[in-house]
Amino acid sequence: MKMIIQRILAISVVIVLSLVLNYATTQDIISTETGQIGFQVLLIIYLIQLVVFLISFVLKTEHYYDLTGGITYITVIVYTLYQKQLLGALDFRSILLGVLILVWAMRLSSFLFLRIKKAGKDRRFDKIKTNFTRFMLAWALQGFWVFMCTLPAITAIASESKTTDYFLVGGAALWLFGFIMEVVADRQKSAFNQDPKNKGQFISTGLWSISRHPNYVGEVLLWTGIAVIALPTFSGLQYLALISPIFTYLLLTRVSGVNLLEASADKKWEGNDAYIKYKEKTAVFFPFI
């Protein structure tokens, strides 16, 4: 019972924090109409999670978790751009932000969906998907992830238009670098795992020779690029949206990514001299650091 209460409180905190950040980042938006977009997006995000969570819990499946995350990204970006277009204020910066996020979302969600279909399951959900509150918390956190990552872009799209500048060019270049890094790292690992000769082995070649988690490094870089592109449109409390790439870094390194994978790898290859040497010479996250 205590754990159930804690999970419900955690879900409540996630939603309240989303509402607070949404309220803060819409205070300096120039018109009431565009200011409402942020709340509408927030509603869409959590409504999608709730609907698919209920279906997934009934079916006791996690197969649509990552796919739903991608669909949510696509939905809120398309909706935001459409609303901006209706107001006759759609600009190049907004279009660029939308296109970059759509490209990333379609690539990653399809990659993860096909991977879990091939594997048959996602081990992270073995014990979670049969517990209502634990499973619901996972979906609430996914909604928060979507909200936090898109916060700079949604804020920028809903704000006053700005001309092309160095932030736009630099941010786009950073996004491209991070996106390529993530894609290449994913493909290198997929190719490594598909080779029967590598069964039971760990990857230490390509980008994985300079970072133990290069795909996550790419993820942090590309969302930082999105924040940089959006930056010139901010004013007042909207600068709180810059917490987005920091959130992404902490999420991937402290909550659901690096820490879990490192613990699993340490257990799997405990006592393996090659793995111990690999850890000693290879950065855990940012290359060469």
Domain count of the fold of the chain: 1
CA dihedral 101, 96, 234, 34 (to 10 degrees): -90
- Per the confidence metrics, is the pTM higher than 0.85? yes
Look at residue 288 and tell me if it is in a domain. no
Look at residue 227 and tell me if it is in a domain. yes
CB 205 within 8 A of CB 212: no
Look at residue 3 and tell me if it is in a domain. no
209 CB contacts (<8 Å, ≥6 apart)? 282
Look at residue 269 and tell me if it is in a domain. yes
Assign 283 a pLDDT band (cuts: 50, 70, 90).
very high
Where do we find the tokens 């230490």? 204
d(CA 72, CA 47): 10
Look at residue 55 and tell me if it is in a domain. yes
Look at residue 1 and tell me if it is in a domain. no
Instruction: State mean pLDDT over 105-120.
Output: 81
End-to-end CA distance of the chain: 44
pLDDT the model gives residue 162: 66
Where do we find the tokens 């790419």? 218
pLDDT the model gives residue 30: 52
Look at residue 289 and tell me if it is in a domain. no
d(CA 126, CA 148): 27
Look at residue 287 and tell me if it is in a domain. no
Percent of the chain with pLDDT strictly greater than 70: 95
Structure tokens of 41? 């997006």
CB 92 within 8 A of CB 57: no
Instruction: State mean pLDDT over 112-121.
Output: 75
pLDDT the model gives residue 34: 65
Give the residue numbers spanning the domain of 206. Answer: 8-281
DSSP state of 212: S
pLDDT, tens digit (0-9, with 9 covering 90-100), for 42-51: 999 999 999 9
pLDDT, tens digit (0-9, with 9 covering 90-100), for 163-183: 768 999 999 999 999 999 999
- The answer on pLDDT for 231 being more than 60 is yes
